[in-house]
Amino acid sequence: MRAGSKILGALALLLAGAAHAEDGYRLWLRAAVATPAAATITLRGDTRTLALARHELAASLPAGANVTLATSADPAVAALKLPFAPLGDEGYLIRPVTLNGQPTVLVAGNSDRGALYGAFALLRHLATGGTLATATLTSAPKVKLRVLNHWDNLDETVERGYAGDSLWDWWTLLDRIDPRYTDYARANASIGINGTVLNNVNAKADSLTPRYIAKAAALADVFRPWGIKVYLSARFSAPIELGGLKTADPRDRQVAAWWKAKADEIYRAIPDFGGFLVKANSEGQPGPRDYGASHADGANMLAAAVKPHGGIVMWRAFVYADTDPSDRAKQAYTEFKPLDGTFADNVLVQVKNGAIDFQPREPFHPLFGAMPKTPLMMEFQITKEYLGFATHLAYLGPLFQETLASATGRGKETVATVVDGSSEGHRLTGMAGVANIGRDRDWSGSTFNQANWYVFGRMAWDPTLTAEPIAREWAQQTFGTDARVVDTAVTMMMGSREAVVDYTGPLGLAHLMATGHHYGPGPWVDDLKRPEWNPAYYHKADRQGIGFDRTKSGSDAIAQYASPIAKRLADPGTTPERELLWFHHVAWDRKMPSGRTLWEDLVAHYDRGVAYVGNMRSQWDGVRTLVDTERWQKTATYLAVQEREARWWRDASLTYWMSLNGRPLPASVAAPEHDLTWYKAVRFNYVPGHHD
Amino acid sequence: MRAGSKILGALALLLAGAAHAEDGYRLWLRAAVATPAAATITLRGDTRTLALARHELAASLPAGANVTLATSADPAVAALKLPFAPLGDEGYLIRPVTLNGQPTVLVAGNSDRGALYGAFALLRHLATGGTLATATLTSAPKVKLRVLNHWDNLDETVERGYAGDSLWDWWTLLDRIDPRYTDYARANASIGINGTVLNNVNAKADSLTPRYIAKAAALADVFRPWGIKVYLSARFSAPIELGGLKTADPRDRQVAAWWKAKADEIYRAIPDFGGFLVKANSEGQPGPRDYGASHADGANMLAAAVKPHGGIVMWRAFVYADTDPSDRAKQAYTEFKPLDGTFADNVLVQVKNGAIDFQPREPFHPLFGAMPKTPLMMEFQITKEYLGFATHLAYLGPLFQETLASATGRGKETVATVVDGSSEGHRLTGMAGVANIGRDRDWSGSTFNQANWYVFGRMAWDPTLTAEPIAREWAQQTFGTDARVVDTAVTMMMGSREAVVDYTGPLGLAHLMATGHHYGPGPWVDDLKRPEWNPAYYHKADRQGIGFDRTKSGSDAIAQYASPIAKRLADPGTTPERELLWFHHVAWDRKMPSGRTLWEDLVAHYDRGVAYVGNMRSQWDGVRTLVDTERWQKTATYLAVQEREARWWRDASLTYWMSLNGRPLPASVAAPEHDLTWYKAVRFNYVPGHHD
């Protein structure tokens, strides 16, 4: 009862918000209601989720509309003999029908969650130019687990968070249920996200204590009617830290019993708890390898603990060791591929999109397609750790699409068909996005960053959706349907990630950022303790050339790809230009398809990136009078920052490359503003998202 | 021009906010405007500050009102020969006049700031039941510097902050001017606050680098039209850390030259920079004592640096040393009193209200009245470090009033007449409040905490104002004029701080809180490294009695008070009961004026404190339908927390006292819920406001 009235309270707030000045709080859910009673909305069924769906429709349906929300279990709906079977648990179907002799638009699924997703789909349809008359829609999610990963710490900071502190006010939680928790769940439900990992993968054992389990349960209670399950990151050494055991060896019976009891305890508080996410033996985190056991041993032990309750384990493949001198890009594959077939059936292995770490561009991770017997969960990073934080505009739809559409070289298989399970018939499938959500009023630190949350949800629902239509529907819902604004926004967005690639690391360069906080250029850094922490490790530039040789003559990382791909990558001439220096060490003088040398092309890319940002500023200036003041101004301010910093990246990088290759800039190219000493001396502390 | 349009944008936002659901963002400034053009508001003068005053009035004046905003410099206004002289720089005068043959209500000061304060005073008058017809008001501030101290770190955390991260988004500052900065300045101006120290007294030298000076200048630009000056906390060792000097000895010529150049640099960026606040040789901070120089040497050296620019130095007297075995309560007096008369004329010594550290109750600091040749600035803590953070309701008006009204024992002198300079004719006077403001939507973590910001401003303007009328005017502006709500709020507020005293440390007990984070009870703690960090140091309880003997037979701290006070405090029988155990070690069996023993009285106080909170809950329940949902619910939730935790404080404290005195509880008194072991075992991490 309490939770119910809180939800209604939060909704009332959102409705009242229709008259607000626009500060970004309402995200893409900006429909206003004049007279909530103007439409006829019939509920067939009495669940909180259906009631929420009705509220959503009531806020936005045009006067005179007649809509029915139902599930296929309703006898009158069942009698219509509509194709409900393909919808599965969460799909929806929208179409005009005659029900009990009355014409109505039916919004239904096999579950009330399906109907809720249908309600949001109908509203999206209407907000993007559709009408009720044309509202015949059917969709079912292609991926089962569509999950945000919050790297949120219990002290309420957010690792790599650029939108303020954690949404979760752990200190007051349980007692206070911030209305914002409901608004968060609603936003997620509107784009099909059905799970959320509350705490950082660099986890504290405290999150598994009764105190924090109760707090997580309070959030789960808020999220449940929105179809969202709660998951927790589990610290592998918790049996030692909390249980007083001497070991966390997954083969130890006491350890397994501890986790089983812990899982039982969690499920008593959260009956629909989703399961655990684990970062093990990675960047200092404890794990099964500490005891000579394998990742599968660790994952399966945890999986057994949650299995009786229907829970799952998401086990991250992001591992690289300071004891392993081989190419960092190879290590996850080397460690995980041999484990294929050894994971329990409620384990997913969660693999980052690329083999290094969320760079502006990475070739798809070679594990995709290489572990056919294991469900591989995609991990994208929505927060822009390496793409300019909240201040740079970079729409990640093209990045997600590029990865998902990549052919693995095994028949018609793509990364998307691996992730959605269709390649191998896996039914347990998932996509994770590292959230860009915080306590800032506009949730994601900037209006355009909201689009990255949005596109993640939409592509997790259907990995075959493409970036541009999603950008367009987002812009229509976020800014209204004025085509001048929408076209401008979409145009800016679509090239924005490529611009970041261009001004930070074109032609396959990567990992050239400053140390620790990852903001700004640091390609010269070569003195960090572990070799693979150094930008110099990645670019390997010298007087003759630049790039990481991952062919047979080098680390042979390309051998981790299926042979059609590996063959193509073996030769710089057949390697996609955008990945050239990722796979090859290339002479500065190499003739490129453009007819220019590599060096000339590289310079041109940097310049193109900077110019793109300047162009975004002009475009945004052009819609000044068409966008509400606060959102326009903040975006304009950040575009100015981005242009200055794109120039900084370009100038610092070129200055450094020139210090190595001794080459002049091509004629008519602008000279860097400062010398290398100046760029190397740039230092700042107190950088968001990074807590030493 | 840019700053101007930003200000108007922020105002537009606030006006639009009139239709909002109420989330506390609008503070006590909730006047709504139906038709901004309904009133006639004439500006005589063309300054940004006057324009802001007009906007404030336009938002709230009734239709048909005719008001003129002016300064006494206006010839037509001067011709009225009104008593402008006593208004000084910042005072205002409001009265009906005939100007150029037209009847109008004149709102004027000798400066546009005075007119702005007058505009806010007029709005307060109207919001609290006054009419334009009765609007004849005159006021001038009794205290010159009315300053918030933000203990805000450059990493955007706030030491002892319980309302979210720092308002100052240092990372984006300079580029982005958050509209909230304007809203902050406006709220301060509405209650007469005219200065703000941006950074924590535990300062980083970085705040004095060009990068951060520029950011502070951007804030100063926003605040200036609202009459608010920016100050910075200065790290005393900055000449070493930033300047590369070998020493920070204030007698060193290079050190003085470094600070002079630094001050010049700051004033180039911020021409009206207020000056420095310094915490030196206190809790690990560097200071002049590191070099054998005195606090006056340090303060005067800095004062010389800012003097040519009209700046001042606020030098904190909050010192106690681990090398000094004497009563901590005595040490500031011991160190500072001998320095009276040696400070430069642009130095204020900033003294906390009590001699320990912002406890729920402390006797007034013995330095007040003891340094007649030195302007003493009051330092209150608005943030409730020791009073339950944001979740406990405690209105601090009575605390501030109690301190300010304290007679020093020197003629008619009170702490207020020391602070406002009237005792000794000081013209440089000040009052500082450690801010309770953060990035939370409701600014101060709870609605009732906003009242503490409010009452600080009002009492800084006039230290003779009393707590109850201020509570009433705050409640009227915050909740509307429904007498049922206002009376309830005022009743709850007025006893709320005494309730905290009762359930945490009655009868003069203090400093009994848990270690580090200061949340919850820890009277048993006696094993911390420095003796004066331990609660046991303060209560000195044993089988026979309890309390700190500060008479001649003990630390003789009472000798630091003027003799009429010292005499009264020498005898437990004439010591105010509320300060009894602060000054005396008393037998548990001592007969109290109530006829009960000390032990029985102590128990009764704990019970009274808990009961008061229960009573607040009932009262708040009674206005449920009269207060908007979100603010009502959050307050109700926090009152429930407070009741539970008041009980925790009481039970833990009583259990511990009983373990020492071996006495039973009086008959019919509730037994503690748990045993002492249980209370001692309570531990939690990740506590707000405390960053290890």
Can you spell out the DSSP letters for B78-130? HTT----GGGTTT-EEEEEEEETTEEEEEEEESSHHHHHHHHHHHHHHHHTT-
- Whether residue A377 contacts residue A419, with contact meaning beta carbons closer than 8 Å, is answered with yes
Give me the domains of chain B, ranges plus CATH numbers. Answer: 31-139 (3.30.379.10), 145-465 (3.20.20.80), 502-548+585-681 (3.90.1330.10)
Least confident of A144-153, A334-343, B37-46, B420-429: B37-46
Residue B269 pLDDT exceeds 80 = yes
Residue B252's Cβ-count burial label (10 Å; 0-12, 13-18, 19+) is: middle
State pLDDT tens for residues B437-474: 999 999 999 999 999 999 999 999 999 999 999 999 99
DSSP assignment string, A89-142? TT-EEEEEEEETTEEEEEEEESSHHHHHHHHHHHHHHHHTT--STT--EEE--S
B contact test, residue of A173, A392, A441 with most B CBs within 10 A: A441
B392 interface with A at CB cutoff 8 Å: no
Cite the active site residues of A: 283, 357, 385
B13 to chain A: which residues are within 8 Å by CB? 21, 23, 630
B133 interface with A at CB cutoff 8 Å: no
- Tell me how far apart the alpha carbons of residues A420 and B196 are, in angstroms, rounded to a whole number: 56
DSSP 8-state assignment for residue A669: P
A634 interface with B at CB cutoff 8 Å: yes
Residue A227 pLDDT exceeds 60 = yes
For residue A430, what is the enclosing H or E element? strand A430-434
A321 interface with B at CB cutoff 8 Å: no
Of A12, A21, A687, which has the smallest distance from its Cβ to B21's Cβ? A12
Residue A14 pLDDT exceeds 60 = no
B172 to chain A: which residues are within 8 Å by CB? 391, 637, 641
- Whether residue B349 contacts residue B315, with contact meaning beta carbons closer than 8 Å, is answered with yes
The answer to whether B630 contacts A9, with C-beta atoms less than 8 Å apart, is yes
Least confident of A29-43, A485-499, A641-655, B595-609: A29-43
Per-residue buried b or exposed e for B330-360, using 16+ beta carbons within 10 Å of the residue's own CB: bbbbbbbeebbeebeebbbbbbbbbbbbbbb
B684 to chain A: which residues are within 8 Å by CB? 211
A636 interface with B at CB cutoff 8 Å: no
What pLDDT is recorded for position A18?
Answer: 33
The alpha carbon dihedral of B432, B438, B440, B446 has a sign of negative
Query: Mean pLDDT throughout A286-302?
Result: 98
A616 to chain B, minimum CA–CA distance in Å? 17
Least confident of A67-76, A208-217, B321-330, B435-444: B321-330
A200 to chain B: which residues are within 8 Å by CB? none
State which residue of chain A sits closest to B8, comparing Cα positions: A629
AA identity, residue B690: H
- Tell me how far apart the alpha carbons of residues B104 and B96 are, in angstroms, rounded to a whole number: 6
- Whether residue A563 contacts residue A600, with contact meaning beta carbons closer than 8 Å, is answered with no
- Tell me how far apart the alpha carbons of residues B98 and A275 are, in angstroms, rounded to a whole number: 76
A4 — pLDDT class (breaks 50, 70, 90)? very low
B36 to chain A, minimum CA–CA distance in Å? 17
What pLDDT is recorded for position B602?
Answer: 98
State which residue of chain A sits closest to B392, comparing Cα positions: A172
The answer to whether A641 contacts B172, with C-beta atoms less than 8 Å apart, is yes
State pLDDT tens for residues B284-315: 999 999 999 999 999 999 999 999 999 999 99
What pLDDT is recorded for position B345?
Answer: 98
A181 interface with B at CB cutoff 8 Å: no
- Whether residue B196 contacts residue B188, with contact meaning beta carbons closer than 8 Å, is answered with yes
A641 interface with B at CB cutoff 8 Å: yes
ipTM at complex level:
0.93
Query: Mean pLDDT throughout A254-270?
Result: 98
A691 — pLDDT class (breaks 50, 70, 90)? confident
State which residue of chain A sits closest to B18, comparing Cα positions: A20
B9 to chain A: which residues are within 8 Å by CB? 629-630, 633
Of B211, B638, B686, which has the smallest distance from its Cβ to A155's Cβ? B686
Percent of chain A with pLDDT strictly greater than 70:
96
Q: In what order do the strands lie in the sheet with B92-99?
A: B40-44, B66-71, B102-109, B92-99, B137-139
State which residue of chain A sits closest to B628, comparing Cα positions: A9
**Residue contacts between A and B (CB atoms, under 8 Å):** 99
B684 to chain A, minimum CA–CA distance in Å? 9
The answer to whether A20 contacts B20, with C-beta atoms less than 8 Å apart, is yes
The answer to whether A20 contacts B23, with C-beta atoms less than 8 Å apart, is no
A284: which residues sit within 8 A by CB, 6+ positions away? Answer: none
AA identity, residue B575: T
Give me chain A's average pLDDT, please. 94
A688 interface with B at CB cutoff 8 Å: yes
- Tell me how far apart the alpha carbons of residues A449 and A274 are, in angstroms, rounded to a whole number: 27
Of B9, B164, B687, which has the smallest distance from its Cβ to A630's Cβ? B9
Residue B322 pLDDT exceeds 90 = no
State which residue of chain A sits closest to B391, comparing Cα positions: A172
Query: Mean pLDDT throughout B361-386?
Result: 98
- Whether residue A148 contacts residue A196, with contact meaning beta carbons closer than 8 Å, is answered with yes
Tokens of B303: 């004062």
Residue B595's Cβ-count burial label (10 Å; 0-12, 13-18, 19+) is: exposed
Percent of chain A with pLDDT strictly greater than 90:
92
Active site residue B402: no
State which residue of chain B sits closest to A692, comparing Cα positions: B155
B165 interface with A at CB cutoff 8 Å: yes
Q: What is the 3-state secondary structure (H, E, C) of A452-515?
A: HHHHHHHHHHCCCCCHHHHHHHHHHHHHCCCHHHHHHHHHHHHHHHHHHHHHHCHHHCCCCECC
A179 interface with B at CB cutoff 8 Å: yes
B37 interface with A at CB cutoff 8 Å: no
Percent of chain B with pLDDT strictly greater than 90:
92
Of A172, A175, A637, which has the smallest distance from its Cβ to B176's Cβ? A637
B625 interface with A at CB cutoff 8 Å: no
Tokens 């006077």 belong to: B429
Of A12, A154, A637, which has the smallest distance from its Cβ to B686's Cβ? A154
A624 interface with B at CB cutoff 8 Å: no
What pLDDT is recorded for position B356?
Answer: 97
Give me chain B's average pLDDT, please. 94
A464 — pLDDT class (breaks 50, 70, 90)? very high
Tokens of B481: 């004029």
Residue A453 pLDDT exceeds 90 = yes
B contact test, residue of A157, A389, A628 with most B CBs within 10 A: A157
B687 interface with A at CB cutoff 8 Å: yes
The answer to whether B19 contacts A23, with C-beta atoms less than 8 Å apart, is no
A4 interface with B at CB cutoff 8 Å: no
Which one from B283, B322, B571, B673 is the annotated catalytic residue?
B283
Of A17, A179, A439, which has the smallest distance from its Cβ to B164's Cβ? A439
Percent of chain B with pLDDT strictly greater than 70:
96
